[in-house]
Amino acid sequence: MTKPTMPNDYPAGSHTDAIGQSAPAALLNDLTASKISFDISTESRAQHGRDWWPLSIRDVNEGRVPHWPGVVVMPTTTEEVSKVIKIAAKHKISVTPQGGRSGVVGGAVAVDGAIALDLTGLDKIININADSGLVHVEAGVFGPDLEKAVNEKGWTVGHFPQSFDLATVGGWLACRGAGQFSNRYGKIEDIVRGLTVVLANGDIVKIGDRGPRQAVGPDLLQLFVGSEGTLGVLTEATLLLRVKPTYELRSAYSFDTFKDGLEACQNIFKRGAKPAVLRLYDEAESKRNFQIEQCALIVLDEGDQGLCDATMKVVSEECSKATKLDDSHVATWLSHRNNVSSLVPLWEAGIIVDTIEVSGSWDILSDMHQKVVAALKEVPTTMAASVHQSHAYDDGACLYFTFAGRPGGDPTNYYRSAWDAASKTVLASGGALSHHHGVGRNRARFVKEALGSSFEVLQTMKRALDPENIMNPGALGIGGEPW
């Protein structure tokens, strides 16, 4: 597969600000001696100075690069990554690991002068173990390439995030990502079975790969899943496979209120039914996506026929008081679920749009939904705020908020204020700061409050594994100043 491009790229020769200094000659000399490919061109450094954080859309459109990495390094093996990290440690230059740069919270934005470590050259599918249903893959493999390879063997990974075409396996793991069918297949932390990690001193460590569960101390595998490049570089992973489904059922309903819909979703899970897709939309999003005035519930299940039939029977019973809709609404969702084409034109027109995904237990979701929407609408110039429930569990669910505003001029203050309002309300309600986008730099200022007394444990791990703060400083709220 050809490496995908970002949804909006810098126009050639458009940079309007001063071009930052490239990496020191001594570091470049060491990279040359190591025979690892690197690039110090203006174009490459600009493109690798950003990810898909919506705040960067205006910068890209106007040819502005807020942070210039000093060099883009392109290793092709775990051993080359180790060499790069050792060179970075020698010169005390920070490193930001990057995959498809599809993250939306600034986690792959390299700081000024840093090494932007492009891992997309680690693009091998090493082994498909058909006996155990496992795939060993390098971190730079893109989702479509991985899925195509395992599909040909009768398997699926089942991980389909909205960024599927743009994201790599390493990116999935770095932010603890979720696919849109996660009710059936789990989030990426449920799918991963082993990792190869390069630490801040260049050491290569292999973790896991000794069975589906083990009781040999704390789970070191999960220490690195979600670490966003701050504790080491993920270079290889072993992922669980499932049999590629051949049977599917769909249904759709509408509820008078979002609260009624949440109650039905909770009851479905209480009974042990876990349809692959169970997405509930409030009135605003139902009208926008399906032209429905009430709260739409979209349901899809796939897999073994007996299990699907039983699951959808439970769904039907728990939605008996709702209005049955035409099943074609599921096809409508499937056709546009990954379409973000409207985002760039809106930002270019001065309308600031973003999404905020959080999670909470069932007992707080309805109240948290109302409070977060109200908090967003109270931010001056907000035009709209809405929500849908996107991923469900036995004990709670993910709420996915969307907000839009037209602040005029520099959007930074409005954008930050909207995120402040929503995040503070979520934490005050007892919810989790993020469900699957991760922290990056956008949420870094909230991590200390979100983790509470355990924040110092995270800080201690950072100091132990990366005492020089070389690894992606500032991301995850550690090792550098948050945004």
Report pLDDT for 343.
87
Domain ranges of the chain: 25-121, 125-243, 248-336, 343-442, 443-483
Report pLDDT for 16.
65
Q: Is the pLDDT of residue 63 over 90?
A: no
Confidence label for 314 from pLDDT (cuts 50, 70 and 90): very high
Query: Is the dihedral angle over the CA atoms 309, 315, 320, 322 positive or is it negative?
Result: negative
User: pLDDT tens digits for 436-471?
Assistant: 999 999 999 999 999 999 999 999 999 999 999 999
Report pLDDT for 281.
98
Report pLDDT for 212.
93
Second-level CATH architecture of 125-243? 2-Layer Sandwich (3.30)
The β-bridge partners of 71 are 115
Q: Is the pLDDT of residue 17 over 80?
A: no
Report pLDDT for 8.
80
The stretch 311-331 carries a mean pLDDT of 98
Report pLDDT for 62.
85
DSSP string, 264-299: HHHHHHHTT---SEEEEE-HHHHHHHH--SSEEEEE
Helices (H), 383-429: 412-429
Q: What is the mean pLDDT of the chain?
A: 96
Report pLDDT for 282.
98
Confidence label for 102 from pLDDT (cuts 50, 70 and 90): very high
HSE value, Cβ hemisphere, 13 Å, CA-based, for 266:
16
Phi, psi dihedral angles at 358 (to 5 degrees): -135, 180
Nearest CA-CA partner of 391 in 371, 368, 365: 365
Report pLDDT for 342.
83
Confidence label for 14 from pLDDT (cuts 50, 70 and 90): confident
Report pLDDT for 214.
92
Report pLDDT for 156.
98
User: pLDDT tens digits for 133-183?
Assistant: 999 999 999 999 999 999 999 999 999 999 999 999 999 999 999 999 999
User: pLDDT tens digits for 399-446?
Assistant: 999 999 999 888 999 999 999 999 999 999 999 999 999 999 999 999
Report pLDDT for 468.
97
Report pLDDT for 61.
85
Distance CA 58, CA 61 (A): 5
Can you state the percent helix, strand and coil of the chain, rounding each to 5? 35, 20, 40
Helix (H), strand (E) at residue 458: helix 455-465
DSSP string, 319-335: TTTSEEE-THHHHHHHH
User: pLDDT tens digits for 209-231?
Assistant: 999 999 999 999 999 999 999 99
Give Dmax (Cα) for the chain.
70
Share of the chain above pLDDT 90, in %: 89
Instruction: Write down the pTM of the prediction.
Output: 0.96
Phi, psi dihedral angles at 471 (to 5 degrees): -85, 110
Helix (H), strand (E) at residue 249: strand 248-255
Amino acid at residue number 18:
A
Write the CATH number of the domain with boundaries 248-336: 3.30.70.3450
Three-state SS for 93? Answer: coil
CB 231 within 8 A of CB 273: no
Report pLDDT for 341.
81
Q: Is the pLDDT of residue 1 over 70?
A: no
25-121 fold: 3.30.43
User: pLDDT tens digits for 184-211?
Assistant: 999 999 999 999 999 999 999 999 999 9
DSSP label of 120:
T
Write the CATH number of the domain with boundaries 343-442: 3.30.300.330
User: pLDDT tens digits for 350-391?
Assistant: 999 999 999 999 999 999 999 999 999 999 999 999 999 999
HSE value, Cβ hemisphere, 13 Å, CA-based, for 163:
24
